Amino acid sequence: MKSRISWIAAVGTLVLAAAAAVLCGYPVFHLALELPSAAGIASSLGPLWNSLWTSAVSSAIASLVGMAWAVMLSGAVRRGRAALHAISLLPLWTPPFIGAFALGDAYARAGLLDQLAHVHVSWLYGPWGVTAALAIHAAPIGYLSGLTAIAAMNVEPMWAARSCGAGLWRAFWAAFRPVALRPLLAACALSFAFSLGDFGVPYELGEPSGFRTAATSIFANLSTGGTQGFTAATWQAFELMAVGALAVTVSRAAMRFDPGLGTSAPGATPLPLFPKRVRAISLAAYGLYVATTSGLPLAALVLTALTRAYGLPPTPRNWDAAGLFSPLVSAWPALVHTVVLAILAAAVIALLGLVAAEAVPASAVARAAHLALWLLYAAPGTAVAVAILVAFGHVLYGTWWILGFAYVAKFYGLADAIVVARGNAPPEPWRAARSFGAGPAGAYGAAIWPAIRPAARQVTLQALMSGLYEVTLASLLYGPNTQTIPVAVLSASEGGDVRTVAVLAVWMTAASFALGLLALREPRRRRSQGLSQLRMAMPAAPLEEVKLG
């Protein structure tokens, strides 16, 4: 048995090492070779600074706000937590480019709020609008980290402090503070990397005002800059890759908690409900926040898609429901391209994750290859696209291969959840199955696969979701016959066709929400066993499992 396991680990190590060499080592090596003289750094520092400060401010806001909502909702309700949990994750499921467009459609001049109340947000298009939108989209990361801290919190000191006369918040803080710092730091680092690499938000809300980040600068340099622009884009890609990898490495280190953190211990006392008045205020504040950041923007997006011409009042007499389908009909080749590419990329990522789950515990080479592949998740999409373009563009540009390589390289980090789940699987069922005569495949199916199946399912769904709305890689690497739906949305936005943007955005968002809810939903078999836990994998951390009532 030991020799068979060693043989399987050896094959897995070879597969993982080859994938790391093709998807990470070769592109990054070529990117480093293509770096021009240090004189090219100067022109990249301005956009890089804009990326750094907007990412830092938005990550701090997102982490604090998300963790605050986790605390308030955990102490405000018992029933309905599943619905509130799903609502809290809506910004994470909304494609950032579409979320930024929806915010502009709701709050900018001539937006829905301006039409209804003659009020608009003058600073939305500019650096502070970019920062606010990035914070909204990253807040669910802070929320998930807050749930992790609450699940690990020991409430006994809280009850002891209360019995000694301490106030509610002072007693809560005494119990919460010891377990809150590391999740907060991890959320800040992960949110920073998320914001640093985002292209859609600064493109939609920053470019109209002339505010350019490193991600949008790379896109502009590659689109119109010629040789000089490619030189600047190479430097910027290298800078973003280094900073993003550092940020998520910090997150990964901070999230290495004690075993069991993230799940309530058996028999643990849940966080007590807050007083009725505090609960009412918390729910009212949360409702206002959701309505402002998600409800009104998504409503504006749907109304724009329904209205037959942009600029008309979004009243029922101006609605044209048939128009919700005509852009899909005209863009059906791009739709097919998007779905097929996302499915294939998700399948490859899940399979590589299963290979890594068997090879990583047994081989230092496999661990190094897994880490190298995982680090590309930390790199912004524009940086990954430039690295892939430099390495394979002369041979594969304009083909599906280059897009497939880029998607797998960028989203492989999601597969870390499978590796973690495999490491947490107890060895006893495997040994028992083998002792009763089961072969390696039969023992794997009976003892190992049930333990990692939820992680594999979730990773596949999240990779599929990411592939469906990925705009950064697709916009830089697509060719005449490889256009995807996100590229069609970007092209319509550049052409000023607002309704087409809104219609395609509605369908993309609906698909993303459906996949997100499916990722949270437990199969009926596990619900019948009383294992109804909602899950959401954080890319740079172990799989989160948080009891929600």
Confidence at residue 34, expressed as pLDDT on a 0 to 100 scale: 67
pLDDT in tens, the chain (549 residues): 444 456 777 888 899 899 999 988 888 887 777 666 555 565 667 788 898 899 999 999 999 999 988 888 887 877 777 788 888 888 888 888 889 999 998 998 888 888 888 888 989 999 999 999 999 999 998 898 888 888 777 777 777 766 776 676 777 777 787 888 888 888 888 888 888 878 889 989 998 888 988 888 888 777 765 566 677 777 778 777 777 777 767 666 655 543 333 334 444 456 677 788 888 888 999 999 999 999 999 999 999 888 888 778 888 888 888 888 888 778 888 888 889 999 999 999 999 999 998 888 888 888 889 888 887 887 778 888 888 888 888 888 888 899 999 999 999 988 888 888 887 777 777 667 667 666 667 777 777 788 888 888 888 888 898 888 888 888 888 888 888 888 888 888 877 788 888 888 888 888 888 887 887 765 555 544 444 344 444 444 333 333 333
Which pTM does this prediction carry? 0.82
CB 133 within 8 A of CB 525: no
**Under a CB-based contact definition with an 8 Å cutoff, are residues 214 and 19 in contact?**
no
Are the beta carbons of 534 and 548 closer than 8 angstroms? Answer: yes
Tokens of 231: 């030189």
Asked if 78 contacts 87 with a C-beta cutoff of 8 angstroms, the reply is no
pLDDT in tens, 321-337: 888 888 877 888 888 88
Distance of alpha carbon 478 from alpha carbon 465, whole angstroms: 19
Provide the phi-psi class of 443: left if phi over 0, else alpha when psi is between -120 and 50, else beta: alpha
Write out pLDDT tens, residues 56-77. 999 999 999 999 888 888 878 7
> Residue 146 is which amino acid?
G
| Chain segment 464-474, per-residue pLDDT in tens | 988 888 888 88
Evaluate whether 327 touches 470 at the Cβ level (below 8 Å). no
Predicted local confidence at residue 57, as pLDDT: 95
**What is the predicted pLDDT for the residue at 59?**
92
Contact call for residues 150 and 70 (beta carbons, < 8 A): yes
Q: Which residues contact 145 (CB under 8 A, 6 or more apart)?
A: 63, 66, 67, 70, 183, 184, 186, 187, 538
Query: What are the angstrom distances between the C-alpha of 358 and each of 97, 271, 355, 422, 546?
Result: 37, 37, 6, 8, 26
pLDDT tens by residue, 175-215: 787 888 888 888 888 888 888 878 889 989 998 888 988 88
d(C-alpha 531, C-alpha 523), whole Å: 10
Tokens read off for 260: 């069991």
Q: Supply the pLDDT for residue 229.
A: 65
3-state secondary structure of 546: strand
The Cα angle at residue 342 between residues 341 and 346, in degrees rounded to 5? 120
Q: What sign for the dihedral angle of Cα 217, 223, 227, 231?
A: positive
SS3 at position 315: coil
List, for residues 90-128, the tens digit of each pLDDT value: 888 888 888 999 999 899 888 888 888 888 898 999 999
Token pair 């985002």 is at which residue?
A: 198
Q: Across-strand partners of 484? A: none
